[in-house]
Amino acid sequence: MLGSCFMSWIFLMLLLDHFLLISCTAAISTEASAMVIDGKSIAKEIRHEITTEISRMKDEIGVIPGLAVILVGDRKDSATYVRNKKKACESVGVKSYEVCLPEDSTEEEVLKFISGFNDDPEVHGILVQLPLPSHMNEQNILNAVSIEKDVDGFHPLNIGRLAMRGREPLFVPCTPKGCIELLHRCDIDIKGKQAVVIGRSNIVGMPAALLLLREDATVSIVHSRTKNPEEITSQADIIISAVGQPNMVRGSWIKPGAVIIDVGINPVEDATSPRGYRLVGDVCYEEACKIASAVTPVPGGVGPMTIAMLLSNTLSSAKRMHNFQ
Amino acid sequence: MLGSCFMSWIFLMLLLDHFLLISCTAAISTEASAMVIDGKSIAKEIRHEITTEISRMKDEIGVIPGLAVILVGDRKDSATYVRNKKKACESVGVKSYEVCLPEDSTEEEVLKFISGFNDDPEVHGILVQLPLPSHMNEQNILNAVSIEKDVDGFHPLNIGRLAMRGREPLFVPCTPKGCIELLHRCDIDIKGKQAVVIGRSNIVGMPAALLLLREDATVSIVHSRTKNPEEITSQADIIISAVGQPNMVRGSWIKPGAVIIDVGINPVEDATSPRGYRLVGDVCYEEACKIASAVTPVPGGVGPMTIAMLLSNTLSSAKRMHNFQ
């Protein structure tokens, strides 16, 4: 009796297994199975936490964090970014200071404003919107921002500290910081994982790699000179892609179950869209959804995190300057 | 006639190929086949070039490069390193300034000497021998060295610039610079190659990885938290190992034909040696010789390059300060 029951049970298990196998295969081949990492709602949660902290700081010591943004020239995209940053500041209670200078301003004029903000105790963060007009030396201008107010985290001293064990940067660049924050908030383990960063830019790829290393991931950096990117990325538990190539990372580049953080925001022509284009990431989203365990959408993934991290850096700066815990 | 001659030639080639194949297989399985990268003779060549340059500078503008070394405490190994550096300075014509302070000196005393050397126009490089006594804050002391005289290249600003595209560090840390110089002088291609750095220390692993990346290698960094180091290193065209674990990297960790730069200098007990120990690298040398295409010995590989690069950094510093090409 027991034996026959056991045999039936085994049979049932085998049958179930068979069905599960079929349904799984079906999911991989035709349906999305990855968790979508909702950057928009995580960023909202972070902005809410920042609002609470700012209000507490204001109540306890009467200080309001201030962010100065310098925009030179009349690039439409830059103007949009600056407008969005200003709105974000307002939404959490950061006071924003904006300077808009004409395209033909001199480097000296920009430096004069930076110097003013460096000295202004009500300004805790200074941001120079990039790119600058081509007649300006970007390096000179960024270096002029006081390291204590470099909320963008692009100063080489900050990057150096980020690269060094036992040193702490004053600020971590916003976009890569946002990538890691997404992993943390989704309870995705980094320690001991194999991570691949695609792209080695100063503002995303390199600092992202340094951050992953600080979190004890084994890190590989893949770039335009890499001969076999697919071979390398397909071994990764975590991929952070920041290259600006629409849909470059295909399903075959991804190890089943990997986590994908897609920093790319690339416009591609789309006649069906009212604007004539739509935004896609570096990663082929539909294919990634079928093979990865978690993936950030574009838009609505890393994008909203960048501004949230800028606000977070500005708050940290104000706290540090006023020694407020 | 021509046809028969051609056939004989083909036959000869096939025969030769057959013998070569046998001898190659034999070499891989039982004999050493890798080129030994002779760091000692390459360092000698570099020191010779430096001597020539220093003599030219002295003749043309009357400037002699000066290197100040600060030694605190009475560690025997540190004293040996300092003595070797002094000897190396003498051999190429760098003027060396040495300060030896007792173990119980205060941080302020060390800082006073650094400040003096910072202001001394005859000193072009300042080196604080590490480790410092435990009651001193290493970070404070190293940060006090003027960035223009930081010939060790350990200042975070130098590391930051090393990490950033479009930025140039004033100095590159000596040991990793020596590793890359060995590759260059042996005509080993780096661009597009898969490189693995084992170890992520501030003084070797991390800057070595940053340098390889600047040379357009695809770089992976493996460390103590890496779960599958062998799997990763065995894909590498170039391995730089800097962990301080005797013979950790075995033959199975190495891809056939890879180039191995072994930074480790580890003492292991050896009753047959008069000193009771001998020095071995991180890489099992005998096994590496059978599978790699080129390998650095320990001692006599990277070691001599470190001091050569220190002299090279001191010369560069003097040239930069006096605008001498």
Mean pLDDT, chain B, whole residue set: 91
**Residue B129 is a catalytic residue:** yes
pLDDT recorded at residue B269: 96
The predicted-structure confidence for A165-213, as pLDDT tens digits, reads as follows 999 999 999 999 999 999 999 999 999 999 999 999 999 999 999 999 9
| pLDDT > 70 fraction of chain B, expressed in percent and rounded | 90
The predicted-structure confidence for B122-150, as pLDDT tens digits, reads as follows 999 999 999 999 999 998 999 999 999 99
- Which residues of chain B make contact with A164, given a CB cutoff of 8 A? 156, 159, 202, 206
pLDDT recorded at residue A19: 38
Residue B221 and residue A225: Cβ atoms within 8 Å?
no
Average pLDDT on B23-37 reads: 60
Tell me the residue type at A220. S
Cα angle vertex B69, ends B64, B72, to 5°? 165
pLDDT recorded at residue B31: 66
- Which residues of chain B make contact with A157, given a CB cutoff of 8 A? 156-157, 160
Which region, left, alpha or beta, applies to residue B65 given φ > 0 means left and ψ of -120 to 50 means alpha? beta
How much of chain B is in helix, strand and coil states, percent to nearest 5? 50, 15, 35
Cα(B49)–Cα(B32) distance, integer angstroms: 32
pLDDT for B103 beyond 70: yes
pLDDT for A50 beyond 80: yes
Residue A156 and residue B167: Cβ atoms within 8 Å?
yes
- Which residues of chain A make contact with B167, given a CB cutoff of 8 A? 139, 156
> In B164-204, which residue ranges form alpha helices assigned H by DSSP?
174-185
pLDDT recorded at residue B140: 93
Residue A156 and residue B155: Cβ atoms within 8 Å?
no
pLDDT recorded at residue B10: 42
| pLDDT > 90 fraction of chain B, expressed in percent and rounded | 90
Residue B227 and residue A218: Cβ atoms within 8 Å?
yes
* Token duo for residue A230: 């697919």
- Which residues of chain B make contact with A226, given a CB cutoff of 8 A? 192, 218
- Which residues of chain B make contact with A210, given a CB cutoff of 8 A? 163
Of B161, B191, B222, the CB nearest to A225: B191
Cα(B311)–Cα(B297) distance, integer angstroms: 22
H or E element, residue A126? strand A125-128
pLDDT for A95 beyond 50: yes
pLDDT for B22 beyond 50: no
pLDDT recorded at residue B134: 95
pLDDT recorded at residue A17: 38
Of A213, A220, A226, the CB nearest to B200: A213
| pLDDT > 90 fraction of chain A, expressed in percent and rounded | 90
- At residue A80 the predicted structure's pLDDT band, cuts being 50, 70 and 90, is very high
The predicted-structure confidence for B165-191, as pLDDT tens digits, reads as follows 999 999 999 999 999 999 999 999 999
Of B160, B192, B201, the CB nearest to A158: B160
pLDDT recorded at residue A73: 96
pLDDT recorded at residue A9: 43
pLDDT recorded at residue B146: 96
Spell out which chain B residues touch chain A, with contact meaning CB-CB distance below 8 angstroms.
139, 155-167, 191-192, 194, 200-202, 206, 210, 213, 216-223, 225-228, 232
pLDDT for B37 beyond 50: yes
Domains defined along chain B, listed by start: 61-149 (3.40.50.10860), 171-302 (3.40.50.720)
Among the listed residues A150, A152, A237, A282, the single catalytic one is A152
pLDDT recorded at residue B195: 98
Of B156, B221, B228, the CB nearest to A161: B156
Residue B155 and residue A160: Cβ atoms within 8 Å?
yes
Between chain A and chain B, how many beta carbons pairs sit less than 8 Å apart?
A: 111
**Residue B152 is a catalytic residue:** yes
Spell out which chain A residues touch chain B, with contact meaning CB-CB distance below 8 angstroms.
139, 155-167, 191-192, 194, 200-202, 206, 210, 213, 216-223, 225-228, 232
- Which residues of chain A make contact with B201, given a CB cutoff of 8 A? 165
pLDDT for A15 beyond 60: no
pLDDT recorded at residue A31: 66
Residue B221 and residue A218: Cβ atoms within 8 Å?
yes
DSSP string, B123-174: --EEEEPSSPPTTS-HHHHHHHS-GGG-TT--SHHHHHHHHSTT---S---H
- At residue B274 the predicted structure's pLDDT band, cuts being 50, 70 and 90, is very high
Cα(A262)–Cα(A243) distance, integer angstroms: 9
pLDDT for B17 beyond 50: no
Average pLDDT on A142-159 reads: 95
Residue B167 and residue A157: Cβ atoms within 8 Å?
no
pLDDT recorded at residue A20: 35
Cα(B233)–Cα(B237) distance, integer angstroms: 9
Query: Which residues lie across from B98 on neighbouring strands?
Result: B69
Task: Report the gap between the CA of B37 and the closest CA in chain A (Å).
Answer: 26
- Let me know how long chain A is: 325
Among the listed residues B150, B152, B237, B282, the single catalytic one is B152
Coil, strand, or helix at residue B50?
helix
Residue A160 and residue B165: Cβ atoms within 8 Å?
no
Give the residue on A whose Cα is nearest the Cα of B194. A226
